DNA sequence: GTAGAGGTTGACGTTACGTCAAGGTCAAGG
DNA sequence: CCTTGACCTTGACGTAACGTCAACCTCTAC
């Protein structure tokens, strides 16, 4: 009154490999083993198997299933905690989808956001005079050479990063969180890290006055509408400036 | 003008192990390698890294990221197809959560569903006369012995499976799909597989008249209110009967 | 005897690294 | 010169749940 491994696999709608695996990890042992090593399963084993497969379809991991089957763990309790995990994953995916959509929108540049041509990823040829005046000749030379030596593709990528950062700033400013919130401070951290990628600026030079530089940049974003545009205008730039100042004072 | 592996990891908010991994798989090579094998990264490498990390945060896999960075794949296009995948996963989780909730409800027995005491997982002591009459003495003996030899826990599990199957049948019947739909036919398949777990019945005996047995069972579910109750009453049982008959004719 | 179906035990591949393990490199201090 | 300690290197295993060979054994049927 028992079945071979292939038979029971077919009956239960799974594969023999799965049954061997369950045997290996001790989740479901065959009810009988032939002298030749063949595995045979009887009725109760089939019941166990189908119970396993049912729980598996619900997304439980094999250790959790074993817990339910062979320890004193309540099935309903296990399913409830599993449900909680599923809900978290569900939320995480929703947030990630929102992020991806936001990024796509920003990269496509739907006109409403991003005055990309104005900011243009710190295009030093466009802002030469200001750059020299604000950060010195050496900084300009280093930054300019760096920018010129990038391939068109690298430049585009740089611009994309700038766009993404700007979009995230606007989203944060628009969501009503405070400049000293964890979210805004994390953006500030990203912002500073991004600045480190520009050679010649104090953030990229050992011993540079990063704090003063970052704080000053924030002021510039507010004062200069060409930069403010990248953060949703003056109100957005003000948010960025405040967040950056708080970050600089606390971390730089 | 470059950084050691630890420095750049700290700047970008990741770990040195990750950078070594990216080097291994060719996703991001260090801009320079010391005579001692030390890895060093410059500005453009940092830009690349941050771009990688940005895409990674959005959930893209490393191969997809490499595709975007080093092949002619459009970032927006990649993100769009990624978004599609995210949406599918999101839906899948939603369905799985519904399934889990359904199972929990059924197992807790909220009274509205499941006359579990009546069906009682083919309790052969309870239905002795009918079982003998309908399926013969041998079938009764085999089934009774099988049932008696189950531990209390195994019996409970068997009942749980019965409950789950019944709940799924009711859900299907209530959703308005046809008895010959893929969903209903899959339930029929599960139903027959479940029957195979009961020794002594034709489904479990080689050469048994499975087709006639399954079809007859379906009729019994409709005719006997004690069984019909498990499928949501007569209308539900009728759905089950029709689905089983179609399945039996096509597959048994 | 042999073909063919079905069984067995390894062992690698899958995602993106975390986590040792063993050992080389480098600057600072005794 | 030697040591200490921080930092670097290259393996290699582990993770979830099997799919997929590979090499070899077993049983039935013709």
Question: Bigger pLDDT: B164 or B94?
Answer: B94
Quick one: pLDDT at residue A126?
Answer: 47
Q: Are B16 and B5 in contact (CB under 8 A)?
A: yes
Report pLDDT digits (tens) over A25-84.
999 999 999 999 999 999 889 989 989 999 999 999 999 999 999 887 788 889 999 999
Q: Is pLDDT larger for residue B24 or for residue A250?
A: B24
pLDDT digits (tens, 9 = 90+) for A188-245: 988 888 777 776 666 766 666 777 778 777 877 776 655 776 787 777 888 998 899 8
Identify the pLDDT of residue B164.
76
Q: Name the band, by pLDDT with cuts 50, 70 and 90, for residue B130.
A: low
Are B83 and A75 within 8 A, CB to CB?
no
Record: contact A157-B50, CB cut-off 8 A: no
**Residue A130 scores a pLDDT above 70:** no
Tell if B26 CB is < 7 Å from nucleic strand C: no
pLDDT of res. B40? 95
ipTM at complex level: 0.58
For B172 and C13, how far is CA from C1' in angstroms?
39
How far is the alpha carbon of B107 from chain A, nearest alpha carbon, in Å? 7
Q: Which of A79-93, B101-115, B228-242 has the highest mean pLDDT?
A: A79-93
Answer whether residue A124 shows pLDDT above 80. Answer: no
Q: What's the confidence (pLDDT) of residue A111?
A: 41
Highest mean pLDDT among A26-35, A224-233, B178-187, B204-213 belongs to A26-35
CA distance A104 to B79: 7
Tell me which residue of A9, A63, A69 sits closest to A41, measured CA to CA. Answer: A9
Of the ranges A111-120, A151-160, B67-76, which is most confident? Answer: B67-76
Is there a contact between A230 and A118 (Cβ–Cβ < 8 Å)?
yes
pLDDT mean over A84-98:
90
pLDDT band at B193 (very low <50, low <70, confident <90, very high): confident
Across A43-65, b (16+ Cβ under 10 Å) vs e yields: bbbbbbbbbbbbbeebbbebebb
Extract the tokens encoding A144: 């300019």
CB of residue A85 closer than 7 A to nucleic acid strand C?
A: no
Rg value, chain A, Cα: 30
């Amino acid at each position: 009154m028992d079945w071979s491994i292939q038979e029971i696999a077919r009956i239960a709608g799974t594969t023999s490999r799965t049954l061997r695996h369950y045997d290996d990890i001790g989740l479901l042992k065959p009810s009988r083993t032939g002298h030749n090593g063949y595995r045979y399963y009887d009725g109760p084993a089939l019941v166990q198997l189908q119970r396993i497969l049912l729980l598996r379809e619900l997304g439980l991991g094999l250790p959790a299933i074993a817990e339910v089957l062979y320890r004193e763990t309540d099935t309903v309790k296990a399913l409830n905690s599993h449900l909680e995990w599923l809900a978290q994953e569900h939320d995480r995916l929703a947030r990630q989808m929102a992020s991806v959509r936001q990024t796509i929108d920003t990269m496509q540049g739907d006109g409403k956001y991003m005055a990309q041509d104005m900011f243009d990823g710190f295009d030093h040829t466009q802002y030469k005079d200001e750059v020299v005046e604000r950060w010195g000749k050496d900084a300009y030379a280093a930054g300019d050479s760096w920018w010129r030596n990038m391939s068109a593709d690298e430049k585009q990528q740089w611009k994309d990063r700038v766009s993404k950062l700007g979009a995230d700033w606007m989203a944060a400013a628009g969501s009503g969180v405070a400049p000293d919130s964890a979210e805004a401070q994390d953006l500030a951290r990203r912002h500073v890290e991004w600045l480190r990628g520009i050679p010649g600026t104090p953030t990229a030079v050992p011993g540079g006055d990063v704090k003063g530089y970052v704080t000053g940049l924030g002021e510039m974003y507010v004062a200069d509408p060409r930069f403010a545009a990248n953060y949703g205008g003056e109100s957005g730039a003000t948010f960025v400036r405040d967040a950056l100042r708080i970050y600089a004072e606390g971390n730089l």
